Amino acid sequence: MTTVPLPRPPQLPRPPALVLRGRAFDPGRPAVMAIINRTSDSFWAGNRHAALEDAMAALHAAVAAGADLVDVGGVRAGQEGAHVTAAQEIDRVVPFLEAARTAYPDLVLSLDTWRSEVAEAAAGVVDLVNDTWAGHDPELVHVAARIGAGVVCSHTGGLPPRTDPVDVRYADEHGDDELAVVRDVLRVLAAGARTALEAGVPAERILVDPTLDFGKTTRHSLVTLRHTADVAALGFPVLQALSRKDFIGETLDLEADERLEGTLAATAVAAWLGTTVFRAHDVRATRLVVDMVASIRGDRPPLLSERGEPGRG
């Protein structure tokens, strides 16, 4: 008689929990971060909320759809669009953050900025500083620590804020461009997390984000996503901002309005490989995908489990 060996359970990354505003997020409770852009020129027309009333309506809809965090930004990420001063950025984001805090006292609020003075202006309201430009302003992480906020450490290939990648190359002593970008991502994120710790940000409030599209070609973003488990192995919760990004559009040759399915496929892969927080335009769809993946991984029980049970016929 042949003995069939028992299958080994998959060895999946399990990064530590992210703790913000008394809430913990981990592989069993992944977090969806809704995006609210206080701009009129965001790359996707579906998330342009220059008017405060529009932004608040988007906030209510995001919370109803299952958002755990809300990330507000006042400046378009790319180089297209008008120049925005720090004072203008403050005028765009702080009134919204204050109104959001009044409406939802327990909601985790995130500020998407690279400027320390903007974070300082949001003291007492914001829970997380999402620095998508990899510490361009070295004072920002110290402000985050001082105001009791968490911080997102990112990778941009060394590019300054609002710079679109052109003729991007990665190379190291190994000489291969494809994996060189992954090694650079890991090196920069590890250094960013160390800087945050040294500044006084507790480990449970530090997120690492490989920051796809930023300082990367489409091929770079694809291979970096493929290596999400290596990012999770750095020992910090992972954030992925995948929603409707250009690497998805170029991979499938689709405009931003048509990138939902590609986004959700990337989201499922990232969730399986250890991502905890998902920055998303499409909150409900993302919520369902990440919860389903968490259950397939074995980290989250199903809400119902009646099929085939006694008394069910």
* Rounded-to-integer distance, Cα 254 and Cα 248, Å: 8
Structure tokens at 26: 């981990």
pLDDT score of 43 more than 70: no
3-class secondary-structure state, position 292: helix
pLDDT at residue 82, as a whole number: 79
Q: Which of 73, 50, 98, 227 is nearest to 152 (CA)?
A: 73
217 vs 173, residue with greater confidence? 217
pLDDT tens, residue by residue, 47-102: 677 788 999 999 999 999 999 999 999 998 877 777 899 999 999 999 999 999 99
Calculate the average pLDDT of the chain.
93
Give the bridge partners for 277, in sequence order.
31, 239
Whether the Cβ atoms of residue 273 and residue 245 lie closer than 8 Å to each other = no
- pTM comes to 0.93
Q: State the pLDDT confidence band at 255, using cuts at 50, 70 and 90.
A: very high
Domains of the chain plus CATH, in order, are: 25-297 (3.20.20.20)
Rg (Cα) of the chain, in Å, rounded?
A: 20
